[in-house]
């Protein structure tokens, strides 16, 4: 699994990371809420280990922003010394999937993370999300701000390539190969389709997500989460 540990206690973070990496998992770290939220929004993790007492933004607010603003459904396991029922309920209400009180056994942390990751993969549709734009890869349904958007097959292929690579730039050649294979179109075809895609997913909503990198290619990005 690819995991994110958001924990300001260096000893706890190191113990968790060492154990999970020894078990074959990849672990990223953040020691404060702001950094943790940024990493959780711009990357795809199988699960997140989240402490509650964090500098900057506490764990409750991190989880709430992740769900409501970041629109990410990555499973969250909260680790905390707060063992009251009110604290647990606040954690679940903010969007946490599981709650484990310190001190804890490392084996139990891994077991719970594996359960959360398996449950998510089994039950959640394959969906790409950037800001308020969502693309369900199973139904090929595209929505922005809750509104359905109709796109032709070529536009869907371009959108998927851009969203999967976000926030990175996808070169013109990569997009053309992805969409048309070896039978590349004339030089204006990609530009025409990008123009149509912008008209469908950007112009009606005020905030542009598709960016042009002149002479290179295109990218789709939420500039509120990632600097332009």
* Strand 170-171 to 217-220 pairing: antiparallel
The pLDDT assigned to 210 comes to 96
Residue 34: exposure state from Cβ atoms within 10 A (0-12, 13-18, ≥19) = middle
The pLDDT assigned to 227 comes to 57
Q: Is 205 helix (H, G, I), strand (E, B) or coil?
A: helix
The pLDDT assigned to 144 comes to 94
pTM over 0.75, yes/no: no
CB 45 within 8 A of CB 37: no
* 52-66 confidence digits (pLDDT tens): 889 989 999 999 988
Name the CA dihedral angle for 100, 7, 113, 19, rounded to a multiple of 10 degrees. Answer: -110
The pLDDT assigned to 88 comes to 82
| Domains observed in the chain | 2-123 (3.40.50.2300), 127-220 (1.10.10.10)
CB 114 within 8 A of CB 20: no
The pLDDT assigned to 81 comes to 81
Tell me which residues of the chain have a pLDDT lower than 50. none
For 211, the enclosing helix (H) or strand (E) is: strand 210-213
């Amino acid at each position: 699994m690819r995991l994110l540990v958001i924990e300001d206690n260096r000893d706890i973070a190191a113990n968790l990371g060492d154990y999970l990496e020894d078990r074959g998992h990849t672990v990223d770290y953040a020691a404060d809420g702001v950094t943790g939220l940024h990493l959780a929004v711009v990357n795809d993790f199988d699960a997140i280990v989240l402490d509650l007492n964090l500098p900057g933004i506490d764990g409750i607010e991190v989880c709430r922003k992740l769900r409501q603003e970041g629109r990410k459904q990555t499973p969250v396991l909260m680790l905390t010394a707060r063992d009251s029922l009110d604290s647990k309920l606040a954690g679940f209400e903010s969007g946490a999937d599981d709650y484990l009180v310190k001190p804890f056994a490392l084996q139990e942390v891994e077991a719970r993370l594996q359960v959360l990751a398996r449950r998510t993969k089994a039950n959640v549709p394959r969906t790409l999300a950037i800001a308020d734009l969502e693309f369900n890869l199973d139904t090929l349904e595209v929505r922005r701000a809750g509104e359905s958007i109709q796109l032709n097959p070529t536009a869907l292929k371009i959108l998927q390539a851009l969203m999967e690579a976000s926030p990175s730039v996808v070169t013109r050649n990569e997009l053309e190969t992805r969409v048309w294979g070896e039978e590349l179109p004339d030089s204006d075809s990609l530009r025409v389709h990008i123009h149509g895609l912008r008209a469908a997913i950007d112009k009606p909503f005020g905030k542009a997500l598709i960016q042009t990198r002149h002479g290179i290619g295109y990218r789709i990005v939420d500039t509120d989460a990632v600097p332009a």
